[in-house]
Amino acid sequence: MLRCLLITSLLFGPLPVSSEPVDVVLEQAKTKYDTANKRAKRFIQATNYNEPLRDTDYSFDFIVVGSGSAGSVIANRLSEKNWTVLLLEVGEEATVLTDIPVMAPLFQFTNLNWNYLMEKQDNMCLGLVDQRMAWPRGRALGGTTIINYMIHVRGNRRDYNRWANMGNPGWSYRDVFQYFIKSEDFLVQRQDPGYHSTGGYLGVQDVPFRTESVHAFVQAAQEAGHQYVDYNGKRQMGVSYVQATTRRGLRSSAEEAFLRPIQHRRNLKILTKSRVTKVLIDPNSRQAYGVQYVKDRKYHTAIASKEVILSAGAFNSPQLLMLSGVGPRQHLEDLAIPVLQDLPVGRKLYDHITFLGLTFTVNQPIVSDQTVIERIDSFLKLVLNGDGPLTSLGGVEALLYFKTNVSTDPAPYPDMELIFISGGMHTDKGQYYRKTFRITDEIYNAVWKPLEDKYAFSVLPMLVHPKSYGHLELKSKNPYQWPKFYGNFFTDPGNYDVKTFIAAIREVQRIVQTPTFQKYGAQQVKTPIPGCEHLRFDSDEYWECALRHVTATLHHQVATCKMGPKTDPEAVVDNELRVYGISNLRVADTSVIPLPLTAHTNVPAYMIGEKAADLINKYWT
The pLDDT of residue 580 is above 50: yes
Closest CA relative to residue 323, chosen from 116, 473, 471: 473
Domain that holds residue 308: 59-94+255-345+558-620
pLDDT at 23: 40
Number of domains the chain is built from: 2
Strands (E), 38-191: 59-65, 85-88, 116-117, 134-135, 184-187
Q: Is 298 domain-assigned?
A: yes
Are both 274 and 305 inside the same structural domain?
A: yes
Tell me the CATH number at 73.
3.50.50.60
What rounded mean pLDDT belongs to the chain? Answer: 91
Q: Is 221 domain-assigned?
A: no
Amino acid at 238: G
The pLDDT of residue 50 is above 50: yes
Are both 63 and 27 inside the same structural domain?
A: no
Q: Is residue 276 part of an annotated ligand binding site?
A: yes
Are both 82 and 19 inside the same structural domain?
A: no
Closest CA relative to residue 594, chosen from 617, 620, 575: 575
pLDDT (tens digit per residue) in 272-307: 999 999 999 999 999 999 999 999 999 999 999 999
pLDDT at 47: 53
556 is catalytic: yes
Q: Kindly state the DSSP code that residue 137 receives in the 8-state scheme.
A: -
Are both 576 and 601 inside the same structural domain?
A: yes
Give the residues across from 138 on adjacent strands. Answer: 113
The pLDDT of residue 375 is above 60: no
**How far from the centroid of its chain's Cα atoms is residue 101's Cα?**
13
Are both 334 and 261 inside the same structural domain?
A: yes
Give the residues across from 553 on adjacent strands. Answer: 353
Half-sphere exposure in the Cβ direction for 456 (13 Å, CA): 25
Are both 260 and 323 inside the same structural domain?
A: yes
The string over 598-618, giving b where at least 16 C-beta atoms fall within 10 Å of a residue's C-beta and e elsewhere, is: bbbbbbbbbbbbbbbbebbee
Are both 13 and 74 inside the same structural domain?
A: no
d(CA 221, CA 329): 51
* Cβ neighbours around 525 below 10 Å, total: 18
Q: Is 400 domain-assigned?
A: no
pLDDT at 57: 62
Closest CA relative to residue 102, chosen from 437, 388, 453: 388
Are both 264 and 316 inside the same structural domain?
A: yes
Residues 6+ apart with CB under 8 A from 513: none
The pLDDT of residue 381 is above 90: no
Q: Is 479 domain-assigned?
A: no
pLDDT at 56: 54
| Annotated catalytic residue within 152, 465, 555, 600 | 600
Are both 20 and 83 inside the same structural domain?
A: no
Q: Give yes or no for a contact between 428 and 468, defined as CB atoms under 8 angstroms apart.
A: no
Q: Is 441 domain-assigned?
A: no
Are both 340 and 280 inside the same structural domain?
A: yes
Q: Is 413 domain-assigned?
A: no
pLDDT (tens digit per residue) in 232-280: 999 999 999 999 999 999 999 999 999 999 999 999 999 999 999 999 9
pLDDT (tens digit per residue) in 317-339: 999 999 999 999 999 999 999 99
Greatest alpha-carbon span in the chain? 74
Q: Are strands 484-486 and 416-421 parallel, antiparallel or unpaired?
A: unpaired
The pLDDT of residue 27 is above 70: no
Average pLDDT over residues 108-128: 96
Confidence of residue 54 (pLDDT cuts 50, 70, 90): low
Average pLDDT over residues 530-552: 98
Q: Is residue 406 part of an annotated ligand binding site?
A: no
Give the chain's radius of gyration (CA, Å): 24
Confidence of residue 385 (pLDDT cuts 50, 70, 90): confident
Edge to edge, what strands does the sheet with 184-187 contain? 184-187, 202-206, 243-244
Average pLDDT over residues 192-206: 97
Confidence of residue 30 (pLDDT cuts 50, 70, 90): very low
Q: Give yes or no for a contact between 252 and 409, defined as CB atoms under 8 angstroms apart.
A: no
d(CA 359, CA 342): 48
d(CA 274, CA 120): 31
The pLDDT of residue 18 is above 60: no
Q: Is 334 domain-assigned?
A: yes
pLDDT (tens digit per residue) in 423-434: 999 999 998 899
Q: Give yes or no for a contact between 539 and 447, defined as CB atoms under 8 angstroms apart.
A: no
Per-residue CA distances from 558 to 139, 318, 473 (Å): 18, 11, 14
Are both 263 and 339 inside the same structural domain?
A: yes
The pLDDT of residue 599 is above 70: yes
196 is catalytic: no
Are both 279 and 326 inside the same structural domain?
A: yes
The pLDDT of residue 444 is above 70: yes
Half-sphere exposure in the Cβ direction for 99 (13 Å, CA): 25
Q: Is 367 domain-assigned?
A: no
pLDDT at 350: 98
